Structure 1
């Protein structure tokens, strides 16, 4: 997350909206994971973990846009990290 934020800080001025969206999506991944862990019922936990995974997909889409706009050359590294996080979330949802 920290590395992605650093990348976003280097973007041209007109793409600030994408940087903001990326930060919100990353925050949503973490915050929904934390809230899910605080829930007592399995069904509630799973719902928050599902939202966290959906936000992770949004982060992935932002990385795709970064690559398309020529804003990063690290997309494979970022995507690899997202894949690992997704696997962990999937494990929590079982």
Structure 2
């Protein structure tokens, strides 16, 4: 909103103002289709395999993929979720 006066000053027509403010929003909306889900959110809804695949892609991007495989990540995530659930149960009782 702070940059809108500058856009209005640079663009001489309402059509150009509308276009210059809409195109970036459309580009961000399209990019959201390619953005992966958060591994933390995927774990919270029980999608362990998808979370481990995304974590493996992150490890590949950081050149750490040789340390673990997708199956190892999946088993670690299942253990982590089981431990977290058992801690939550012990806190409730």
TM above 0.5: no
Larger Rg: 2
Query: Hey, which of these two has a bigger chunk of helix by percent?
Result: 1
TM-score by length of 2: 0.35
TM-score by length of 1: 0.35
Q: Which has the higher contact order (CA 8 A, sep 6+)?
A: 1
